[in-house]
Amino acid sequence: MSAVADKPLLATVLGQRQSRPPIWIMRQAGRYLPEYRETRARSKGFLDLCYTPDLAVEVSLQPLARFDLDAAILFSDILVIPDALGQSVRFAEGEGPLLEPLSVETLGILRPERVLDHLAPVFETLVRLRRTLDGSKTLIGFCGSPWTVATYMLGGKGSPDQAAARLFALKHPQAFAQLMDILVDVSVDYLEAQFIAGADVVQLFESWALNLDEVAFARHVIEPNRRIIVGLRQRIPNAPIIGFPRGAAGMVRSYVDATGVNMVGLDYATPLSFANGALPADFGVQGNLDPLRLVVGGEQMEQRAREIIDGFAGRPHVFNLGHGIVPQTPIENVARLVDLVKKG
Ligand code: 1CP
């Protein structure tokens, strides 16, 4: 980790308020950029892109070549973990990910001991990014949180209600706990290795923290994220961590208090007044513009972006979307948003 003071985004995650919020954009490298599609076409497939440092570095830096963003995020995916564990993971062109769903009987195929070796190219990508990046830019590593990764491992693909994982957790609590233990342990190793390779901060993507009752939320979201953070900080003291529990709603304060994240990412359905009321006055937030406002641009985007900046002006704030940027986003709208956030 290099000097915090030189990196406005890292400093904000660590609790320092800035006169203008720093900005990065979730899923900033990817399909809305023609240069990404060009690099993707040169690869042998999406996972090959993630595991080829030359290409992954190129793709990670593409958004920073166009826009004055304050951070680069490692180009990879949350599903490299099931792949590294030995589960079959495919990314069909133009579709989402497809996994061979796990069952109680097939849990035993998972091989935690091979994860770090399998993911060595990801660490190499971070080492090279660290060397290349300007000193003012924050380098973000990440992993999927255990519940979110488990929804794909059990359901085989993204689903609107995560029913496969919710049913599995209710019907087979012991097998489910075993799976979560594996994911917690490998995530600690994986994130530790990302810091050693040069990440300044990591984000825990809990993209499917929706649709859980409070008991399940405490058990499947709060507790595993807390265990990852405790485990990680035993190895990397004070490791800077952003948690993004999408859909946490009324559970956001419990999540923040129990997990120990430095900053919480808010989805776009979270009202600014609710967040300000629920969170401690000096606690940092990231977010939370609706990605579809970025598709439409103009006043629909600008007015809301200003409301968000004003709404969180009293606390550390990293500007971001409230979920990932979508492929149909016009590039000129991204340029305008970055300009507005940085200059007003
Ligand atoms: O065909 C292609 O080129 C693949 C499209 C793509 C890309 C560009 C996928 C498949 N993943 C990614 C990159 C990615 N994914 C990054 C890289 C860096 C960046 O942010 O720029 C990151 C951080 C992710 C994280 C990720 N993958 C999440 C969490 C964030 C979120 O958006 O909720 C999730 C849920 C995934 C799974 C995944 N991988 C890819 C897709 C299309 C999906 C979502 C599938 C679904 O709908 O459930």
Per-domain residue ranges of the chain: 4-343
- How high is the pLDDT of residue 47? 97
The residue among 261, 324, 260 whose CA lies nearest residue 291 is 324
Write out residues with Cβ below 6 Å of ligand 1: 26-31, 40, 46, 73, 75-79, 91, 96-97, 142, 158, 205, 207, 324
Pick from 27, 44, 61 the residue to mutate for probing ligand 1's pocket: most ligand atoms within 8 Å of its CB.
27
**189 in catalytic set:** no
**27 in catalytic set:** yes
Instruction: Name the residue with the closest Cα to ligand 1, atom 46.
Output: 158
- 301-331: string of b/e by CB count within 10 Å (b at 16+)? beebbeebbebbeebbbbbbbbbbbeeebee
Phi, then psi, of 32 in degrees rounded to 5: -80, -5
- Please state which CATH number belongs to domain 4-343: 3.20.20.210
Known binding residues for substrate are 27-31, 77, 152, 207, 323
User: Which listed residue (36, 51, 70, 77) is catalytic?
Assistant: 77
As a whole number of angstroms, the distance between CA 48 and CA 91 comes to 10
Instruction: Name the residue with the closest Cα to ligand 1, atom 34.
Output: 78
Cβ atoms of 203 and 132 closer than 8 Å: no
**31 in catalytic set:** yes
The Cα-based distances of 278 to 129, 201, 264, 270, 272 in angstroms read 37, 24, 12, 11, 10
For each of the chain's 344 residues, which pLDDT tens digit applies?
A: 557 879 999 999 999 999 999 999 999 999 999 999 999 999 999 999 999 999 999 999 999 999 999 999 999 999 999 999 999 999 987 788 999 999 999 999 999 999 999 999 999 999 999 999 999 999 999 999 999 999 999 999 999 999 999 999 999 999 999 999 999 999 999 999 999 999 999 999 999 999 999 999 999 999 999 999 999 999 999 999 999 999 999 999 999 999 999 999 999 999 999 999 999 999 999 999 999 999 999 999 999 999 999 999 999 999 999 999 999 999 999 999 999 999 98
Cβ atoms of 253 and 218 closer than 8 Å: no
Instruction: Name the residue with the closest Cα to ligand 1, atom 18.
Output: 75
ipTM of the complex: 0.93
**233 in catalytic set:** no
- How high is the pLDDT of residue 2? 54
Instruction: Name the residue with the closest Cα to ligand 1, atom 7.
Output: 30
**What are the DSSP E strand ranges found in the chain?**
71-73, 89-91, 97-99, 138-144, 201-206, 241-245, 263-265, 284-289, 317-321
Phi, then psi, of 107 in degrees rounded to 5: -55, -35
CA 30 to centroid of ligand 1, rounded, Å:
8
Q: Is the pTM of this model over 0.95?
A: yes
> If you count DSSP H runs as helices and E runs as strands, how many of each does the chain have, helices first?
17, 9
Known binding residues are 27-31, 77, 152, 207, 323
Cβ atoms of 243 and 261 closer than 8 Å: yes
Helix, strand, or coil (residue 15): coil
- How high is the pLDDT of residue 137? 98
Cβ atoms of 188 and 228 closer than 8 Å: yes
